[in-house]
Structure 1
Amino acid sequence: MAAPRSVSAAFQEYLQHLGLQDFPCGIGSWNKSRFHGRRSSRLEEAVPPGEESPEALLELLRDPHSPWALPPECSPLDRLLREVAVLAPELLRGSGIFQLVKSLRILDKGVEEVDEGLLQFQQLEELILSANHISRVSSAHLPRTLKVLELCYNAVGDLQDLCAQPPPELQHLGLGYNRLCGPSQEKHLTVDFWPNLISLDLSFNSLTDLPGLVSQLSTLPNLHILLLQGNPLALTPTYRGFLVDSLPKLSILDDIHIWPEEREHFYGLARQPELIRSEARVVVSIGELKGLPNPEAFQQLEVGSEGPVITYSYYVTYEFAEGEELEDRGSPEGIKIHQNSTVAPLDVDSSAQDTEETKNHQEPAATEEPKTHSAKVFATPGQPWADTIDCSYRKEHVDKDLVGLKAYLEAGTIVSVVEEKVLSWPVDADAEENAATNKKEGQGLKKNNAKDKQKKKKQQQQPSEFRSDPPIRSTLGTTRVTLDTLLATEDLVATVCDFGILIPEKPPVVEEKEVKKGKGKNRKPKAEKESKTSQKSETTPKGKGKNKETAEVEEGQELQPVPLTVQFQMQLLRWPLAASTQSQENGAAGNAQ
């Protein structure tokens, strides 16, 4: 098994990449007389033939057009070591190079271990090891001169090794985007370990205990900058206000300056523990739905026709984290539990008026997603077709599973537009009556023909009763809405989901077995007749039977199709908005009692 890749090994590779022993650096034929002959401290000394002066060699490093120049994005350490290798290359031999390094940046080099070789850097003040694979850091391997330690985007899940013995007196500790989860980590964030800490980055971990963390951070006398966004605890409504009121010396929280007005606004919140709840309140709003193809051409048939009456309704579905606490079981939206990891069409099995939980039998598409999460699907009430359907949907979700909610926001939500089609048949068109009628006709009972005609005429004059088939649902459009900005400093995501332009299908043709439900197996429903009529009109020779729509197409006056869009909004409620909402709910509950 290969040994873990260490910081020391990455540093040696870094030195080789700089080429400190190659022209124009190091010692060679281009400057050998300066180091093997009589040495002089004056750079203006005459240069032997075939060699280069230190000034000329430095110019090769600094001229942006030189093939030996460093790229503009190189670090100050790169330039320092290259220039030292020109002026005094002997300083880079042995352990001398470690005495020159005060800031070391090793980013995305696959480092797994912070080894004791770091102790050779006796002047090191800044160590940045972000975007590696470090899971543990021992304080025994850190130089005592260190003031800045940056370990963002690693796999650190425990601070015990870092605090096993007193760590260096850091001024900044960066642990963002790691795997810290509480409440066992809070005890390592006190003044006993970090008496000089000014800035602390714990963003985008899995910390959940806000009161416990604040009680430890309040012991840090010099803490002025704090980053906690991206943690589950940051999703609670009182998150920012509680921190601002609890840490009076804090000046910047989540990259936002704390002004005196804000501190005054949240004054006293830390002394109201009943408001500090480990839950998130999220409001989802769905507005106008546009761009639906008009099904009017084949939506209904005449009363008494052999074919079905077809009605259409439309609704919007979206996912929300499974950990949501359902407060209102009588809400009109349908709910479905499933494991989501992809953007896939949703075959919704619950209507806008159905609250039963059903399972999703669709297989997910093979696409890469940020993270698998469990979710429930909610739906707006179904509405008939219109050019613009105003869903006017608003629902507040209360979620106590903050870790699950964070995973849901990282993955985003799936928004879909669903069409529900219902076929309704006349009650007198059932199979038994058809069988009886066919039997009578087969026996040649002509005397009943007059009665049948009278019955049919009577049915045409009076409204018929209908029986409806199970609804047929189809997904017209599906898209993913990114929500990760709600984990940062944003409280609102408002977007218009664009599903593209839909091409309406041709009117449905009822199969022969469906026609048998009518009063004559050779009769065809009106929808099929209209379909054939439209096909016939399409094949009409040029100049004959042109209708108005065809004329408009030829003249280029047809309106451009409108894409299918829906307004979607998700808001993370913060104090005092969440508190006012909650008080209204409590008041309504009191009045109901």
Structure 2
Amino acid sequence: MAAPSYCRVSAAFWEHLQHLALQDFPCGLGSWNKFRSDARTSACRSQPGQEEAVMLDEESPEVLMELLRDPHSPWALPPECNPQDQYLRETAVMAPELVRGSNIFQVFRTLRIVGKRVEEIDEGLLQLQKLEQLILSANQISRISSANLPRTLKVLELCCNAVGDLQDLCTRPPPELQHLGLGYNKLCGPSQDKYLTADLWPNLVSLDLSFNSFTNLLELVFQLSSLQKLRILVLQGNPLALIPTYRGFLVDSLPKLSILDDIHIGPDERHQFQGLARQTELIRSEARLVVSIGEIKGVPDPSTHQQLEVDSEAPVITYSYCVTYEFLEGEETGHSSSTEEIKIHQHSVVVALDMDSSAQDTRETMSQQETAAKEEPKVPSAKVFVTPGKPWADTIDCSYRKEHTVKDLVGLKSYLETGTIVSVVEEKVLSWPVNADPEESTVTKGKAGRGLQKDNAKGPVPRDKQKKKKPCELRSDPPIQKTLGTGRVTLEALLTNEDLVATVCDFGILITEQSVQPPSLEEKDGKKGKGKSKKPKAESQTSRKTTASAEGKRKTKDSAEPEEGQSLQPVPLTVQFQMQLLRWPMAVGSQSQESVEEPQ
């Protein structure tokens, strides 16, 4: 069954020509320029001393061209139009007979149809007998038949389509083709490697296979080595480009190559990788990445929000802070402290503002993060890694470094395209003194009191009979975990020419619930009423001094309450994160641990 007409290249071609209005004012033939197309007018021009007769409603070519080029003219092309459209409009003014009927097919040297939802390259394209460049990027083409391509083609660009098989294209490809662009498609080896040989593309100079799914570096290089005229090659974004020896092996295996992945190959680089092509044992189908996490800033001081109630046994509260990130399951080496998955429990409301622009999804809590993860394509076999817990400080230095070895290159590519989720987690532990039951404590206290009276009657107890106090044992409750900030870090740059992604994740200013401060001693005294006994004057003055002293200490410690005349800006919650893709000839096994520096 034939595809709908609107899905074909020829249909998109004619629709585009109608949009250009090559036969309407100020282009084409009409009353506005009819005498310029008349043969008698041409003969009149050839006679010296005679002037051309011009009708009142006729415009000169210069005026018509000005209507096309003036940006304020209603007939001017929009700024996003390409030079080809401008050239056709000007041709329709200066030589309108060239764009009438079948003559227009002879005008085209370049055809650019981008983002028109084209699905099929049909036989109508063969009418463009002088076509040299065909650009069909950002469409929906999955199959290319070489029988429908003009034999004069020198450039064929099919970037951002759905091409998954080259068999039909390579049945009888254009013999003069010099550039073949197949980036951002669905090609994968080794079934497609056999179509990239000099027998099919003898004049190929430039080849773009970026962001496909080629994984076998040895097999692909073996096929490409037959392309003697190949000078420009783009393979970045493929899983095989993540192998540490990728670039060096290609540079040494293809000595005539001038540009690899948009980077010029110089003599120094060739000398550096000389002989690597013969060391095939170094070509391992695995990638090595190092994750480093540096300083955390902007965590509120937890001691300022603790409630210290009077006449109550308060627990011992300890806080620790860590950073979590997602990564693929695999072999991990290097400096690491915890590789187990964790579960985050949310126990309080924390609002994160001004998220980093690199984060694609802003999530206030881990539960929201898990809900959004179900909607997005999730990388399989990914888990959460945790840095060691650190106590609170104005600047918490994680000093974390972990090396990951991944053999699933296709899965790693999907992971880097998706990015990783980085979170800052607070863990609170309540520790209580281990005591007997309250009833037993009361009985014990009563007996101790009676015994004390008896002992006092008899006299003081000798030191050798006094029992030594045992250290207080603490019973810890299960830890309470709270996500202070979370966001996504984009890692797609590692699929291109970048070997390092270093960023500061900005989770914004934390707005937490303000804890209720316990009433002061003066407020408690006021609630007792006038009829109750008041404290002596000396004791009251001592209490006021103690309260003032405590308030002074709290004001110094709590940065959220500045003194009069001062305005302290709150510090946003940030964490330094970087991921590095290890390349050859780096000594990946003997790298020293380096601190993460904050990017400028």
Interval containing the TM-score (normalised by the shorter chain): 0.7 to 0.9
1:462 CA drift (Å): 4.2
Equivalent-residue separation in structure 2 for 1:34 and 1:534 (angstroms): 103
Whichever residue aligns with residue 463 of structure 1, its letter is P
Sort the Cα spacing of 1:298 and 1:73 in 2 relative to 1 into closer, same or farther, 3 A. closer
1:482 CA drift (Å): 1.2
1:278 and 2:285 correspond: yes
1:16 and 2:15 correspond: no
Structure 1 runs of 4+ aligned residues shifted over 6 Å read 298-302, 451-454, 543-546
Q: Equivalent of 2:379, from 366, 373, 393?
A: 373
TM score, norm. by length of structure 2 = 0.80
1:477 and 2:485 correspond: yes
Sort the Cα spacing of 1:102 and 1:450 in 2 relative to 1 into closer, same or farther, 3 A. farther
Q: Equivalent of 1:176, from 179, 183, 189?
A: 183
Equivalent-residue separation in structure 2 for 1:287 and 1:536 (angstroms): 46
Contact 2:335–2:400 (Cα < 8 Å) also in 1: no
Please name the residue that 1:132 is paired with.
Answer: 139
Please name the residue that 1:531 is paired with.
Answer: 518
Please name the residue that 1:394 is paired with.
Answer: 401
1:557 and 2:544 correspond: no
Q: Equivalent of 2:54, from 47, 58, 61?
A: 47
Whichever residue aligns with residue 564 of structure 1, its letter is L
Sort the Cα spacing of 1:563 and 1:29 in 2 relative to 1 into closer, same or farther, 3 A. same
1:94 CA drift (Å): 2.4
Q: What is the aligned-residue RMSD (CA, Å)? A: 3.5
Q: Equivalent of 1:575, from 584, 587, 592?
A: 584
Equivalent-residue separation in structure 2 for 1:210 and 1:423 (angstroms): 55
Equivalent-residue separation in structure 1 for 2:146 and 2:29 (angstroms): 38
1:89 CA drift (Å): 2.5
Q: Equivalent of 1:422, from 412, 426, 429?
A: 429
1:434 and 2:438 correspond: yes
Sort the Cα spacing of 1:144 and 1:362 in 2 relative to 1 into closer, same or farther, 3 A. closer
**Structure 2: segments with no counterpart, 5+ residues:** 345-359, 456-465, 528-543, 593-600
Sort the Cα spacing of 1:162 and 1:305 in 2 relative to 1 into closer, same or farther, 3 A. same
Please name the residue that 2:274 is paired with.
Answer: 267
Per-residue displacement from partner, 1:234-288 (whole Å, max 9, x unpaired)?
1111111111011000000111100000010011111111211111100011111
1:204 and 2:211 correspond: yes
Per-residue displacement from partner, 1:386-433 (whole Å, max 9, x unpaired)?
22221111100001111111111111111111111111111215xxx2
Per-residue displacement from partner, 1:146-172 (whole Å, max 9, x unpaired)?
000001111111111111224342100
Whichever residue aligns with residue 373 of structure 1, its letter is V
Whichever residue aligns with residue 569 of structure 2, its letter is Q
Any residues of structure 2 matched to 1:208-223 within 5 Å, and which?
Answer: 208-223=215-230
SS of alignment partner, residue 151 of structure 2? coil
Contact 1:316–1:380 (Cα < 8 Å) also in 2: yes
Whichever residue aligns with residue 228 of structure 1, its letter is L
1:566 and 2:575 correspond: yes
Any residues of structure 2 matched to 1:92-111 within 5 Å, and which?
Answer: 92-111=99-118
Whichever residue aligns with residue 553 of structure 1, its letter is P
Please name the residue that 2:391 is paired with.
Answer: 384
Please name the residue that 1:497 is paired with.
Answer: 505
Sort the Cα spacing of 1:561 and 1:36 in 2 relative to 1 into closer, same or farther, 3 A. closer
Contact 2:106–2:128 (Cα < 8 Å) also in 1: yes
Q: Equivalent of 2:341, from 335, 338, 348?
A: 335
Please name the residue that 1:87 is paired with.
Answer: 94
Q: How many residues align?
A: 532
Sort the Cα spacing of 1:202 and 1:66 in 2 relative to 1 into closer, same or farther, 3 A. same
Any residues of structure 2 matched to 1:287-326 within 5 Å, and which?
Answer: 287-297=294-304, 306-322=313-329, 324-326=330-332
1:300 CA drift (Å): 11
SS of alignment partner, residue 501 of structure 2? strand
SS of alignment partner, residue 38 of structure 1? helix
Contact 2:336–2:402 (Cα < 8 Å) also in 1: no
Q: Equivalent of 2:193, from 147, 166, 186?
A: 186
Equivalent-residue separation in structure 1 for 2:467 and 2:489 (angstroms): 51
Whichever residue aligns with residue 573 of structure 1, its letter is L
Sort the Cα spacing of 1:383 and 1:141 in 2 relative to 1 into closer, same or farther, 3 A. same
Whichever residue aligns with residue 477 of structure 1, its letter is G
